[in-house]
Chains A and B, each alone.
Chain A
């Protein structure tokens, strides 16, 4: 029972903060609510006994990516709400319609899945040791490709950020 109550609370917080990200007019508040959302998701990952991923979620998303977002918002001084009218009037109703369609499709489809009623994985699966073993044996080539991708990302962002020598 306790697990269900915890999940319910976390899910409410996650949905509310996600809504705040979309509907807040101030980019800084959007970013902060997104941090809250990622943090709640990390807690949900812990309840899914994915402890390693949960910790990485906080380090990568909350600790690095969102700080970068805030950094850029502040650097470009986009923080004030009226820096930019943030909604397009014409597309709004259409967007809500599409969103509703996506939601209904996803929910209906997910109800149709045939899955065991009880969790099957042991808590051991979420530990760094098990994931690391799989990552460096079975997934070694994708991992190398990931390294290539990140290197390209680093070089690309440096090239973009560099001022051209005049």
Chain B
């Protein structure tokens, strides 16, 4: 590694961290304003234009708040937990390419890019789990336990969903996954890109990944670990001041990173919706076409990436404002009885495509969907036994 390589690596790291940290206030502002808009409220609108400076004020407030340590907490682990939740989120995005220039992005284009992301996101469970345990508070502990069970369960579904991207592109390398999607759509429409989401396996895999993404980041409707109405914010209850801010930042940066993965693997990464490569060819002549080629080839890709990223983030907010929180057993049922079997069948049918071509694969999808509706379609939703409070008997354990 020469000195120049080292310098470029520093530049890449600085750009990534700079982007993540500078976009953070904007994301928090967007969440508050958009949620307010969904709920027919106004939201923060006093400080700065449209309330844009509100996150700064929040940060200043948190900075000067008194930090309260619970008397019976395990001090060291209690202080370690916020750092453990912030660190994996900050480094998880290191393999995501957000533009065509390999000197500037991604930080490390390694052979195991997607596995690296999975490894880092699986470490995110520790922060929550340890925060819940070390606070020595039963609500926090419940939140931590819920979070760890949830993250482990949905990690499997997430792995299966990402495996579709790996199998379709034949590589764990993020840039190869993007390049695979730069092909013409279905091999026939040269003016469009073959985003993975436009294929049957990509559509199903993307949908699975989207659900797992919500669960991994503990967002509504999977926000049981921090359910404020039952667990008084779960693992965060005992945290205040900058440690709370670390959790808060970690959560949003993790959301940005995981949206980046979804964008890269399923939504074509930094590719434009339309194929601009004819313009690139014309750009060889210079002049007007040259300028246009520079704009579409070098300047626009990061813009497309950020646009998709924010689109996904907005869908997070939309879901948060729309759906109710799941019950715990529903959460586990969705994870184990729906996402994992569907992911496995999807992966098997993608294998059929890779080996025998698209006709047997599409037939397989047809058969699978028909079977699914034949078996589960006619079944009425299970009703839970409702016991009126006036008739309910107190619970007595049976005698042995």
A residues sitting closer than 8 Å to B (CB atoms) are 28-29, 32, 35, 51-52, 55-56, 58-59, 62-64, 67-68, 70-71, 74-75, 79, 127-128, 166
Contact = CB atoms under 8 A, between A and B. Distances in A.
A84 B141 CA distance: 21
Interface of B: 74, 77, 80, 110-112, 115-116, 118-120, 122-123, 125-126, 129-130, 132-133, 141, 144-145, 148-149, 151-152, 155, 172, 398
A95 B29 CA distance: 59
Nearest to B141: A74
Contacts of B77: 28-29, 32
Contacts of B152: 64, 67-68, 71
Contacts, number: 73
Contacts of A71: 129, 145, 148-149, 152
20 contacts: A28-B74, A28-B77, A32-B130, A52-B111, A55-B112, A55-B119, A62-B119, A64-B122, A67-B125, A67-B148, A67-B151, A70-B126, A70-B133, A71-B145, A71-B149, A74-B132, A74-B141, A75-B145, A128-B112, A128-B172
Contacts of A51: 110-112
A10 to B, nearest CB: 17
Given A59-B115, A128-B172, A74 B133 contact: yes
B122 A128 contact: no
Given A52-B115, A74-B133, A62 B123 contact: yes
Contacts of B132: 74
A146 to B, nearest CB: 17
A63 B115 contact: no
Given A55-B119, A67-B129, A128 B111 contact: yes
Q: Which of the listed residues B111, B129, B149, B152 has the most CB atoms from chain A within 10 Å of its own CB?
A: B111
B129 A70 contact: yes
Given A58-B122, A67-B129, 14 more contacts: A32-B130, A35-B126, A51-B111, A52-B111, A58-B120, A59-B122, A63-B119, A63-B125, A67-B152, A70-B126, A74-B129, A74-B133, A74-B145, A79-B133
Nearest to A58: B119
B314 to A, nearest CB: 29
Nearest to B111: A127
Contacts of A29: 77
A52 B112 contact: yes
A106 to B, nearest CB: 30
Nearest to A52: B112
A63 B118 CA distance: 9
